[in-house]
Amino acid sequence: MSDTIKHGGNLREAARRYAIPLDDWLDLSTGINPRGYPVPPVPPDAWRRLPEDDDGLADAAARHYGAPHALPVAGSQAAIRALPALLRRGTAGVAPLTYGEYAPAFMRAGHAIATLDVTSHDLPDTLDHVIVANPNNPTAERLTRDTLLRWHAQLAARGGTLIVDEAFADVDPAASLSSETARDGLIVLRSVGKFFGLAGLRAGFVLAAPSIIDPLRDALGAWTVSGPARHAVVAAFADTEWQRDTRERLQRDGARLAGLIAHHGFNVRATPLFAWMPTHDASGLQHALALRGIWTRLFDLPGMTPSLRIGLPGAEGDWARLSLALQEICA
């Protein structure tokens, strides 16, 4: 099985394909906040010294997310790759259209994969583990806390695990299960890449009981998050005023993006960080936008309606550029 999984952000590939210079693109292919946290200057020691586990980052993350325990990792992607090998082998339920790394990670660790019906009240007895994004990427579907806690109880009763990827949950902290992660068999993954707009840091957190965190720490080894990244994350967590203002802005911008797309006749679902539109001509629409130097993310899986995910523009000029492009294409 190939380890090559397509993600958004592959702008250099688009620039080569369409012969448009890299600097001339508007990249809307990810769900990353385009106006990220302004990281303060990095102290020289953050570059010179090895990172230290007792520098307060884990405690700062636990406080920020309202969790009993937190383990810093090199982005939630590192945890997605490592966790399946630590779980009892069985059958893992994964939604048919979600983040593309979940199923391959479980398969590499020897688990079977089954399609997860996210509308289910009760999970099938055949499922040992479930991994779900909430809200889901790319479909923007949201599951209630009650549903997720019911699923967790069903899985825990059979010795299984519920993993909830909350990479896009920061705008609505009340929906998070972070505070429940003292429960055995419940793991929440968090990322600073999306809401804080700091994807290049490769920093994230695993929120879980020590029975999960301790073996995962041993599996990942030392120095999983660099000194400069740790400095940036601690500063971002401490800046509650920036967080409040950013939540309000992203709510407005997410609604604006959904409204812009719906205005042109598309069925759209949205989170505050991206909009998703299923349409049979998704490939043609992506191509037409790319000809205008606007890069988006195409999802085209067998047996499913093709769809397009569009991230938030940043500056007003970017909003105007996207609006004009949609107007020209849909005319």
Output the six-digit token pair for 214. Answer: 């301790």
Domain ranges within the chain, ordered by starting residue: 11-37+241-330, 44-238
- Residue 54: predicted pLDDT: 87
- Residue 5: predicted pLDDT: 58
Q: Smallest Cα–Cα separation from 27: which of 299, 298, 296?
A: 296
- Residue 189: predicted pLDDT: 98
Residue 183, pLDDT above cutoff 70: yes
Confidence of residue 245 (pLDDT cuts 50, 70, 90): very high
Q: What is the mean pLDDT of residues 280-285?
A: 96
pTM above 0.75, yes or no: yes
CATH topology of domain 44-238: Aspartate Aminotransferase; domain 2 (3.40.640)
- Residue 45: predicted pLDDT: 93
The residue whose two tokens read 């990249």 is 27
Tell me how crowded residue 88 is: count the other CB atoms within 10 A of its CB. Answer: 11
Q: What are 10-30's pLDDT values in tens digits?
A: 899 999 999 999 999 999 999
User: CB burial class (10 A; 0-12, 13-18, 19+) of residue 302?
Assistant: exposed
Bridge partners (DSSP) of residue 205 are 72, 190
Q: What is the mean pLDDT of residues 167-184?
A: 95
Share of the chain above pLDDT 90, in %: 91
Q: What are 125-163's pLDDT values in tens digits?
A: 999 999 999 999 999 999 999 999 999 999 999 999 999
Determine contact, residues 186/151, Cβ cutoff 8 Å. no
Residue 8, pLDDT above cutoff 70: no
CATH class belonging to 11-37+241-330: alpha beta
Q: Smallest Cα–Cα separation from 311: which of 177, 191, 193, 179?
A: 193
Confidence of residue 2 (pLDDT cuts 50, 70, 90): very low
CA atoms within 13 A on the CB side of 81: 10
